[in-house]
Amino acid sequence: MPGLASETIGIWVAAGSRDESAETAGSTHFLEHMLFKGTGSRDAKTIAAAFDRTGGDSNAITAKELTCYYSRCLVTDLPNITGLLVDMVSNSQLDVEEFERERGVIIEELAMSADDPGDVLFDDFDSLVFGSHSLARPVGATKDQIRVLGHHTVIDHYQSTYIPPRLVIAAAGGATHEEVLAMVDDALAEAGLGSRADVWSGAGNGVHGAGPVGTGDSNGGAASVAKGSHLAGAARVRPDFQAGVSHTVKDIEQLGILLGCEGLPEGDDDRFIYSVMLTMLGGGMSSRLFQSVREERGLAYAVNCVASQFTDTGTFGIYAGCTAENAQAVVDLAVSEWDRLAQETPSQFELDEIVSQLSGSMVLGLESSAARMNRLARSEIFGLPLESPMDLIERVRSVTAEDVSEMAGRLLSRPKALALVGPAAEVELP
């Protein structure tokens, strides 16, 4: 991204909470915390000070299929930050005393999430639709699971998942491709892993002494790791979608509603049709749901479509927050608008408006180095083509009004689930 003085770099691990068992639940998120607690050459305070010194944004995220450690910094700080991230990921000490202190911090974090009705709603929906599958569990597990999670369990998780070919380094910003590769070389050597060529060939020490590490780059691939092969070691079983209704009663003012069905998996061939349909139905202030539920009838403040996508499945949902008295009307109206989109082909004018909205958001989003870094990594991990912004726009423009109606009907015909969080209310699936 010529002209930028900053760079966003991330080390991604193709492993998340989905890759845990009931006994190891919480290990992925716990490990994300622990990697900031010290390596053989840096203690926790040194790591924190090194990130703060850049004046940028540094953090980590744990998801159901991915973990990422990232930093946005000045290009001049990138060599130090690259070395720091590689050291954290490859040489974490996982000290037992730090582990016990962090256990309390994570329990507090989970307690904070439990106080957020939105977090509870989305966790409840996943629990409802995925049943006994590992995707049903919250990313951070439960407080009871964290209280009994063993130190050795997290170490085992670290040694079994933070290994090639699950690891990808992605970067976007003002540094050149060659500069980033040189920085990665230096960071690997500093961390005691050998040169990039040594590590890829298996001649170096490797991460935890376990073979080559894949380094994703701005040219879209790793030297010895086939694109999309990073999930090859993940023993993942596709879940069956479970229909039904769940209600967590909370003494709050609004009732959170999430109505949905099985959606599309990551990289599905119809993902551009899916995006257009999501946006048309509930993707902004001009969307059908927003206009019908909020503007015309005043039944809710917030109403929109949501989607999650995984390697082999996904969920589609309609979210709304309203009073308990309005809940059934909101659910009925949401299904009615969904059905109308399935039954009546939208006008070319409406389709053109949505295509314009999506095209603009795509291009604007790609002006962010963090978004570019994220896109590079996900393309590498999931084996998706890395298309140019103009190619993406053309894919969106190729969607027809008939495609949108067909997609809405396809989803509408699937079994549905309804999750509710808030005051007691009688709400049924239409």
- Position 223 in a domain: no
Identify the three-state secondary structure at position 401.
helix
Summarize the confidence of residues 191-219 as an average pLDDT: 54
Q: What is the pLDDT of residues 62-82, one digit of tens each?
A: 999 999 999 999 999 999 999
Does residue 427 sit within a domain?
no
**Which of 154, 188, 209 lies at the terminal end of a domain, its last residue?**
209
pLDDT tens per residue across span 378-428:
999 988 888 888 899 999 999 999 999 999 999 999 999 999 999 999 999
Domain that holds residue 370: 244-422
One domain for residues 297 and 408: yes
Measured from the Cβ of residue 425, the count of other Cβ atoms closer than 10 Å reads 17
CB-based contact 387:272 (threshold 8 Å)? no
Q: What is the pLDDT of residue 232?
A: 54
Sheet with 255-262, edge to edge strand ranges = 244-249, 416-422, 255-262, 314-322, 302-309
Greater confidence, 211 or 58?
Answer: 58
Q: 209: Cβ–Cβ under 8 A, 6 or more apart, which residues?
A: none
Can you give the pLDDT at residue 229? 62
Please say if the pLDDT value at position 249 is more than 50.
yes
221 within some domain: no
Residue that terminates a domain, selected from 162, 187, 209: 209
Is residue 333 helix, strand or coil?
Answer: helix
The answer as to whether 220 is a domain residue is no
Cα-flanking dihedrals φ and ψ of residue 381, to 5°?
A: -70, -45
Residue 94 CA from chain centroid, whole number: 25
Task: Give the ranges where 219-326 is alpha helix by DSSP (H).
Answer: 271-282, 288-289
Q: Could you tell me if 205 and 267 lie in one domain?
A: no
User: Is there a single domain that holds both residue 191 and residue 42?
Assistant: yes
The answer to whether the CB of 172 falls within 8 A of the CB of 7 is yes
The mean pLDDT of 103-132, rounded to a whole number, is 97
- The pLDDT, as a whole number, for residue 42 is 94
Query: Among 157, 186, 209, where does a domain finish?
Result: 209
194 plus 124 within the same structural domain: yes
- Is 262 annotated in the active site? no
Determine, yes or no, domain membership for 233.
Answer: no
Residue 391 lies in a domain: yes
Residues 6+ apart with CB under 8 A from 423: 249, 250, 251, 252, 253, 255, 324
Residues 1 and 176 sit within 8 Å (Cβ to Cβ): no
In a domain, residue 236? The reply is no
Three-point CA angle 46, 49, 54, nearest 5°: 135
Q: Please say whether the beta carbons of 17 and 62 come within 8 A.
A: yes
- Average pLDDT for residues 107-118, to the nearest whole number? 96
Q: What is the model's pLDDT at position 200?
A: 59
Residues 103 and 179 reside in one and the same domain: yes
pLDDT of residue 289 exceeding 50: yes
Same domain, 267 and 362: yes
96 with 38: CB under 8 angstroms?
A: no
**Token pair of 264 as six digits:** 């599309």
Q: Is residue 260 situated within a structural domain?
A: yes
Which helix or strand (DSSP H or E) is residue 173 part of? strand 167-173
CA 279 – CA 354 distance, rounded (Å): 7
Q: Hey, what are 119's tokens?
A: 């977090």
> In terms of domains, do 184 and 257 share one?
no
Residues across the chain: 430
What is the distance between the alpha carbons of residues 294 and 305, in angstroms, rounded to a whole number?
Answer: 14
Q: Which position among 7, 20, 32, 266 bears the catalytic label?
A: 32
Distance CA 199, CA 203 (A): 6
pLDDT value of residue 385: 86
More confident residue, 227 or 236: 236
The answer, yes or no, to whether residue 192 has pLDDT greater than 90, is no
Total domains in the fold of the chain: 2
* CATH number where 402 lies: 3.30.830.10
Indicate whether 204 and 251 sit together in one domain.
no
What's the pLDDT at 225? 47
Q: Are residues 299 and 186 in the same domain?
A: no
Closest CA to 22 of 113, 103, 131: 131
